[in-house]
Structure 1
């Protein structure tokens, strides 16, 4: 896997805002001066995630929007607040077809303003349902269709297999769950296949990895559906020898029914892999953030809406 010289990563959408945190080496945050003096408003959080990546190699930068949050307003609002020009986006990648990851895509495409490639697994468009407490089923991803993406200005690129989309930036393709404890039980989540309602395997899920020169591999795992450790191992295998530097995203451990034992085992396995940077975000849950902070205090970095990180040796 090739390397990029520098990665600048911006959190456009996440579940969490903290305006009291200060900057630190390589990390710029939206702090109190921006909070009280902002002419464009203050950052907005929601149950979703979106990253903006700027990967630079030999002076050339590729800008990638990875996921789009839950709803139309926060992504566009936060980009404007941070002075980000979405017309500079070269590619859009959607990790999977759940609304907390694609909900802002149409608003983003409107701002991008040209026929930008949208990389997405074909199964992301599979009709999906969730079981309500009264046992009735309701669709929850009807808004994501290939025709709507095309009409909004996207050029849909079907993506099942790993693909280097810029120097040092690779999509995972389908991510295998290789650790038994990370097998996900899709309680209440269904999909429609061949006219039948069945459990949803979420085979459309993908991650991004960025190999930064002098640092190693940074794995962006937005929702952890395959298991964050399995996703890291898959990325390392694809990199063909790059060391692990960091893992950021939603670890999918904040939901009801997730046991403390699973949280602890996940952190145990991350400790074994020795990343220098670990940021549980979005659906990771407070227990996971606390466990990483306690077990990996030097590696733990709390990411919030508006955080900008420069990864470079």
Structure 2
């Protein structure tokens, strides 16, 4: 990994397999000519028929078990290509190991191609499949060739939400567990590039807007004090970014707890290229109408060419995008491969 100042190379293309997302849709065509993906179940792996003569000569079938499961969370298997080289990065790992492993198998993803795994922030819906991801990516590697696992700083013992009482989330994997699974841990204390400068991982994201305040009611458990303390801003959240040749920046967001606009503006301070696409969770599912309207106003000022929302974005903000920025959205769905 390189140290500051980070500088991205331009890549020729990006393939984005949405390994885990809240929603799936194997039928709909791409709503945007800038984005290529399969439709009408064409992206579902087929299996051979054992006795074609019993089915009128049909030699292939589409088993329902080959269709990926949706789950509350996000995991993106991203491959950047330049000339005759390619680099693959896994961004987040969804909520739990079972669905992660099943979807990897369904998509037949070459997990050993992964050069690095990046965790955007410490929330179980992004870290739950992390140990499975490390084990699968490490399988068959030679001794000393550990997969890089880039982790945010300041891991909480537990996170939760405060209602009339604290509701705890499950614990995230520990650093020791990451190492035992085969990962080489790197702490994301500052912005840096990775995998021959094809990807950039942000450092801390400055909080500049007044209306993007993180998660209302967010708390973390402090074992030293044996109490739950306020933790709404999720300050350790990081994003990943690529630079697509002739098009601009492609920003990958886990949940955008830092704020969609804060993230996009910070990306521009790192690299002044135009924003081409923002892919991932925008965390506006539970936003007030006023917050959504202000987010839309500021988003339009940033002039992204393409918006690819998923996970925690919410149907209301997707509808607002389609209304205010028609022709610029291509929502992501689990089990689908997108090519930019």
TM-score normalised to structure 2 length: 0.84
CA deviation profile, 1:210-241 (whole Å, cap 9, x unmatched) = 111111001111101110111011111111x2
The alignment status of 1:52 with 2:77, answered yes or no, reads: yes
The alignment status of 1:232 with 2:264, answered yes or no, reads: yes
Equivalent in 252, 260, 280 of residue 249 of structure 1: 280
Where do 5+ consecutive residues of structure 2 fail to align? 1-6, 47-60
For residues 310 and 19 of structure 1, the distance between their equivalents in structure 2, rounded to whole angstroms, comes to 15
The alignment status of 1:296 with 2:303, answered yes or no, reads: no
Counterparts of 1:31-70 in structure 2 under 5 Å? 31-33=40-42, 34=44, 37-39=61-63, 41-70=66-95
C-alpha displacement of 1:30: 5.6
Residue matched to 2:22: 15
For residues 231 and 270 of structure 1, the distance between their equivalents in structure 2, rounded to whole angstroms, comes to 11
Equivalent in 250, 267, 272 of residue 218 of structure 1: 250
The alignment status of 1:27 with 2:36, answered yes or no, reads: yes
The alignment status of 1:145 with 2:174, answered yes or no, reads: yes
For residues 151 and 218 of structure 2, the distance between their equivalents in structure 1, rounded to whole angstroms, comes to 24
The alignment status of 1:86 with 2:111, answered yes or no, reads: yes
C-alpha displacement of 1:193: 7.4
Residue matched to 1:272: 301
C-alpha displacement of 1:35: 8.4
CA deviation profile, 1:26-55 (whole Å, cap 9, x unmatched) = 422363353894345211101000111111
C-alpha displacement of 1:81: 1.9
SS at match of 1:157: strand
Comparing 84-93 with 140-149, which one deviates more in the overlay?
140-149
Comparing 55-64 with 125-134, which one deviates more in the overlay?
125-134
For residues 218 and 152 of structure 2, the distance between their equivalents in structure 1, rounded to whole angstroms, comes to 22
Which has the greater radius of gyration?
2
Residue matched to 1:99: 124
Residue matched to 1:206: 238
CA deviation profile, 1:50-88 (whole Å, cap 9, x unmatched) = 111111223211110000011112222222222211111
For the 8 Å contact 2:205–2:266, the answer to whether it is kept is yes
Distance 1:29 1:192, change over 3 A: farther
For residues 198 and 227 of structure 1, the distance between their equivalents in structure 2, rounded to whole angstroms, comes to 21
SS at match of 1:302: coil
TM-score normalised to structure 1 length: 0.91
Where do 5+ consecutive residues of structure 1 fail to align? none
For residues 27 and 263 of structure 1, the distance between their equivalents in structure 2, rounded to whole angstroms, comes to 28
For the 8 Å contact 1:127–1:141, the answer to whether it is kept is no
